[in-house]
């Protein structure tokens, strides 16, 4: 059973998260597929939870969207009650608890989530799978294109990199997966987070970064 579930999550999509000295880089493709059928070419697979934290989505879009909505609600309520943002570790733990609870109700969320953000403890990246397993990472990739992405990340990424230096690596990793993995495709979602702001990149900005990475103008 577990292998079948994991195959459903891993089929389609590539997401990448990188921890930098000054923040976080999150990058995904934009293709949604069902088997060999391409359901959409413009899916946003990065959910902004608050202005200091976001998540990437691999797997079932409906399941992941429900989790994103729950994270947004709880993050907002915490900010109202405590007058400060929800810590990144708490966002990750809440995500883990949601997945674990759903699994034990025999209605698991068919998704894999990366939680990335920055708070008073610095930049942090967590992976949560459908079993609720929570791991803290310096870099991570999910989805069927992740083996291709890891080939780029592990040869070029360094923990000492700033967002400016790490961003092209994340884009290059997802772009390589787009070229070599049939479940990954079409466009890019990019979000960067530093201590001052969260930035969602426009189409024009993404095209420029991609042109710089590929050498195609």
Ranges of each domain in the chain: 2-212
What pLDDT score was predicted for residue 7? 46
pTM over 0.95: no
Q: How confident is the model at residue 23 (pLDDT cuts 50, 70, 90)?
A: very high
Helices (H), the chain: 2-10, 61-82, 88-104, 146-156, 163-180, 203-214
Handedness of CA 78, 82, 86, 87 (dihedral sign): negative
Contacting residues for 168 by C-beta, under 8 A, at least 6 apart: 209, 212, 213
Q: Could you tell me the end-to-end alpha-carbon distance of the chain, in angstroms, rounded to an integer?
A: 47
For residue 53, the Cα-to-chain-centroid distance in whole angstroms is 11
Query: What average pLDDT does this structure show over 37-43?
Result: 64
Q: How confident is the model at residue 56 (pLDDT cuts 50, 70, 90)?
A: very high
**Does position 1 have pLDDT exceeding 70, yes or no?**
no
* Whole-number Å distance between alpha carbons of 88 and 73: 15
- Per-residue pLDDT reduced to its tens digit, 171-197: 999 999 988 875 566 789 999 999 999
Query: What average pLDDT does this structure show over 100-107?
Result: 88
Question: Which CATH fold topology does 2-212 show?
Answer: 3.60.20
Report the catalytic residues: 13
């Amino acid at each position: 059973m577990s292998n079948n579930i994991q195959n459903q999550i891993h089929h389609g999509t590539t997401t990448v998260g990188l921890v930098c000295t000054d923040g976080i880089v999150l990058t995904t493709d934009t293709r949604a597929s069902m088997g060999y059928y391409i359901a959409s070419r413009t899916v946003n697979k990065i959910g902004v939870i608050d202005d200091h934290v976001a998540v990437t989505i691999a797997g079932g879009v409906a399941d992941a969207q429900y989790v994103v909505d729950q994270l947004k609600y709880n993050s907002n309520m915490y900010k109202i009650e405590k007058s400060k943002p929800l810590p990144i570790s708490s966002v990750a733990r809440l995500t883990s608890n949601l997945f674990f609870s759903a699994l034990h109700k025999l209605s698991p969320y068919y998704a894999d989530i990366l939680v990335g953000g920055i708070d008073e403890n610095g930049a942090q990246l967590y992976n949560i799978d459908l079993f609720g397993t929570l791991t803290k990472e310096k870099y991570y990739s999910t989805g069927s294109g992740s083996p291709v992405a890891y080939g780029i990340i592990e040869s070029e990424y360094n923990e000492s990199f700033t967002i400016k230096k790490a961003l092209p690596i994340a884009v290059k990793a997802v772009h390589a997966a787009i070229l070599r993995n049939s479940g990954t495709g079409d466009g890019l979602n990019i979000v960067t987070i530093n201590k001052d702001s969260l930035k969602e990149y426009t189409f024009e900005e993404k095209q420029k970064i991609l042109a710089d990475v590929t050498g195609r103008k």
